[in-house]
Structure 1
C-alpha cells in the first residue's frame, strides 16, 4: 500500500480532526466519521496513523543538544495550581543576561512538540520556559488523547494564573534580562492574548491561532502583539474582525498575518496540518519580533 500524502486528504478530514482535537466530538465519533473517508487505497488504520501526531520523527532540537542547557524546573503558582513543572532552556555557556520567552502549550499539556519549541526558542538566544499546566493532575500523560481529557478537568483561568506565575518566575531569573514575552499555540494562543491583558509589563505576545479577548479586555493591553492565523481556520478566525476592531479602537500596537491555505495548527510539525512554508515564515517573524521588543 502506498503511503498517504497530504494531498490525498480532503479539507473535510482536517476539519474533522480539528473538531476532535478541540473536544467537539469524542474519539468514537471521530473514528466513525473518519471511516467514511476510508475509500479506494485509504484504510481507516492508515488514516488514523497519518492524522495522529508523530513526535518520534519530528523533533528538531534534541533534548540533549550540546548547544543548550535544558532541564525541568518547578516554580510556584500561588493563585493557580501550586508547584508547576516546566522545561527551562537557554544557550549553554551564555555569560550575559538573556531576554525571556514563555512557551505555552495547546490543550493537551506539555507534549514533545512544545518542549521542542522551547528548545528552538533557546537556540535563537533566549531563555525559555515551557510550563505544563497539567502538573497538578500528574503532568502530561504521554499521549495527547489523555492529555486533552486531563486538561478539561482544569479551569482555564486557573491555568492562566500558572502562566502568569511563569512570567514572574522567568522575569526574576538570574539569567534573564527582565524582558519577557510569550508565544502560544491554540489554547496557548488564548493564554498569550490574556497574558497581554493581565500583565502590564509583558514585553511582547505572539498568539498562534488563539481565542481572542473581549473589547473591554483588549483595552487593557500594553504589550505589542503579533497575531498568526491560518486561512482555513474558520473556527478561530471568526473572532478576528471584532478583535482587530478593538485593537484599532484603542490604538494598540499589533501586526497580524493570515497564511494562505494554512490550517489551524499549521506550526505543529508533528501532524499533517503542518504547513512548512507558513510555519517557517511565521517562526522567523516571531523570533525577529522578540528580538526587536525584548532586548
Structure 2
C-alpha cells in the first residue's frame, strides 16, 4: 500500500505548518506519531522517517518548527539549512557546537558563502530561546491530531524526536497528560521540576560518545524512578550524537537498526487500544 504525503497548515489561525504521511487507502482514523525535527528542520531525513512511521500503520506528522504563517523565519530557510548541514558534515564532532573551531573550518570558503553558513549555524545552534514557542506548537500539534485531524481523530498520540526534537518529545510528555508515550533520540532531559508531571512511558536512545547529552541520562533516570515515571533507556557503545541520521557521517547502522526496532515495538505497546488474536 502506498503512502500519501502532503504539507498542511493547522492551528487556530493556520499559523503552523507540517508534513504528514499516512497510508493512502486507509480511511478510518489511526493512532498518530509526532516526528520532531533535529536542528536541520523538516528536511529530507525527517520526511523519510515520517514516511517510515506511516508505513508501520500510523498517521505520522512532522511539525515545521521554523515556519510561521506558512513562511520560514529568516535564516531558517531550508536551502540555507541544507547548505549549512553539508558543511557541518565535513567537520569533526568536536567542532560541531564550537564557534571558534567552526570559524577556523569556514576560513577556506569564499567570504559570502562563509558568512551565510556561519550565520545559519549560529541560528540553528542557538534555538534555546525559542523552546517555549516550539513547546507550544508541539502541544498544539498533539491536540490537533487527537481532536481535529480527520485521519487521527479520537485516537492516541505519541511522540518521537531527534536532538532538538528529542528534547521537545520529553517536554511534551511532561506537558500533555493525554500523550500515550514519548521517544527521545539524543535529546536533553526535561527540566527536573517537570519530570513528576510525566504520565506516559518514555524511552530514550543515546550515543556513548555524545557526552554532553548522555552524561545527564542517569540523573534523569533516577528522577523518573523517584517520581514513578516509566523511563527506559539504551546507550550505544561507540555511537555519536545523531547516530540515527543516515545522511550524516555520524550514522551508526547497528545502533540505528536496534533503536528503530525498539521504537516500533514501543509505539505498538503504547498506541494499540486492543488486539484480538
Q: TM-score, normalised by structure 2?
A: 0.77
Report the Cα distance in structure 1 between the residues aligned to 2:229 and 2:210, rounded to whole angstroms.
24
Report the Cα distance in structure 1 between the residues aligned to 2:239 and 2:162, rounded to whole angstroms.
14
Moved over 2 A (4+): 143-154
Q: Which runs of 5+ in 2 are unaligned?
A: 85-116, 273-277
* Correspondence for 2:52: 120
| 1:97 and 1:174 in contact (8 A); partners too | yes
Q: Pick from 55, 68, 76: which aligns with 2:3?
A: 68
Decide whether aligned partners of structure 1 residues 96 and 127 sit closer, same or farther in structure 2, where only a CA change above 3 A counts: same
Report the Cα distance in structure 2 between the residues aligned to 1:229 and 1:175, rounded to whole angstroms.
32
2:93 corresponds to 1:156: no
* Correspondence for 1:190: 167
2:78 corresponds to 1:141: yes
* Correspondence for 1:29: none
Deviation at 1:247, TM superposition (A): 0.6
Deviation at 1:215, TM superposition (A): 2.4
| 2:206 and 2:236 in contact (8 A); partners too | yes
* Correspondence for 1:253: 230
Report the Cα distance in structure 2 between the residues aligned to 1:77 and 1:132, rounded to whole angstroms.
16
| 2:163 and 2:186 in contact (8 A); partners too | yes
Q: Pick from 19, 34, 42: which aligns with 1:87?
A: 19
Deviation at 1:100, TM superposition (A): 0.2
Deviation at 1:184, TM superposition (A): 0.2
Q: Which runs of 5+ in 1 are unaligned?
A: 1-65
Decide whether aligned partners of structure 1 residues 228 and 120 sit closer, same or farther in structure 2, where only a CA change above 3 A counts: same
Deviation at 1:150, TM superposition (A): 4.6
Deviation at 1:228, TM superposition (A): 0.7
* Correspondence for 1:283: 260
Stretch deviating more after TM superposition (260-269 or 143-152):
143-152
